[in-house]
Amino acid sequence: MNDLPVPVAAHPAPRAARPASAATDRSTAPTPDTPTEHAYVVHGGVMYTASTLQTCTMLRRCGGIVISIDGKPFELHADDEVTLHQALVVKPLVAHKLVADDTKVVSLLVNPLHPLFRMFRGMPRHGVMSLPREAFAYHDPQLEASWRGGLDGAQGGSLYNGLITTVSRYLPTVTRSAIDDKADHVVGLLHADVNRSLDELARSVGVSYTRMSHLFTQSLGISLRNYQLWLKIHNALNMLDAGATLTQIARTTGFADLAHLSRVSRQALGAPLTYFRGNASIRKIYCPA
């Protein structure tokens, strides 16, 4: 599993030096020429803004949405081809690389905890769709403000969900079925107690664990075990933001030990949890659920 968030993946390429105050001074909005990085951490994903974006090749269980804020095209590298886009949606588990040189972009990761995660299920098999940039014109003032770091948590969360809703209108309609009802029942139980056993969850809907895992993957595009791990990591991030120690986080969220927590967080987030506490190069804005 290599669910590498854009904030982590954005750093392999060298960038112009930024003033030391750019990442730490929250009272002053950056000038248009200042390289800007902000990560709006929301329930179900991350919205990341930057002036330059160059990622490694990624294979994620998150859905991805990338929008050029200033209208300049960015590159998608996939299937040995390079294509140009102003707005793009990528299905989970599609290997790709993004390159946006001197282009203001906003990149959204939509993980399985988001209520609209199922929208990716209806995408074509190749998993890439270019979208018209004008579809997002309504959001332009907020997109520019997000790049400048001018949104608070509530505003950032509203923009994140607004962009996802706009994208959902362009994707093939996903029809609900009884399978989705079973999966939603299990999701509700997990959110009430993330440490429930997988066998117990399967019994709650009257099927075996193997059958439940198959149905769950059909419904959400991710296995039941991986969804449970995503939820644990989400809870761990919330505890980290509240000031909990890694030992407290590992014990409370049901990881065997610190090594287990570190391994799973690297797999799910592309970096250890300490990255999200100690990295001052990206300003993080936590958005209420």
Q: What is the C-alpha to C-alpha distance for residues 289 and 271, in angstroms, rounded to an integer?
A: 23
pLDDT (tens digit per residue) in 111-140: 888 989 999 988 888 899 999 999 999 999
Tokens in use for 168? 């959902």
Do the beta carbons of residue 168 and residue 114 sit within 8 Å? no
In the chain, CATH 2.60.120.10 covers 6-11+35-173+278-286
pLDDT (tens digit per residue) in 54-113: 888 877 778 999 999 999 999 999 988 999 999 999 998 888 999 998 899 999 989 888
Q: What is the C-alpha to C-alpha distance for residues 175 and 159, in angstroms, rounded to an integer?
A: 26
Burial 138-166 (b: 16+ CB within 10 A, else e): ebeebbbbbbbbebeeebbbebbbebbeb
Do the beta carbons of residue 113 and residue 237 sit within 8 Å? no
Contacts of residues 27-35 at CB distance under 8 Å and 24 or more positions apart, as own/partner, are 29/148, 29/149, 29/150, 30/148, 30/149
State the average pLDDT for the chain. Answer: 82
In the chain, CATH 1.10.10.60 covers 178-271
pLDDT of residue 233: 84
- The whole model's pTM is what? 0.76
Burial 168-203 (b: 16+ CB within 10 A, else e): beebeebeeeeebebbeebbeebeeebeeebeebbe
23 pLDDT higher than 90: no
CATH among 1.20.140.10, 3.30.800.10, 3.10.310.10, 2.60.120.10 for 6-11+35-173+278-286: 2.60.120.10
pLDDT (tens digit per residue) in 269-278: 666 777 777 6
Regarding predicted confidence, which is higher, 155 or 33?
155
Q: DSSP readout, 78-95?
A: ETTEEEEESEEEE-TT--
Q: Which fold has domain 178-271?
A: Arc Repressor Mutant, subunit A (1.10.10)
DSSP letter at 125 equals T
Q: What is the C-alpha to C-alpha distance for residues 160 and 157, in angstroms, rounded to an integer?
A: 5
Strand order in the sheet with 45-50: 128-130, 87-90, 63-68, 105-110, 45-50, 38-42, 283-286
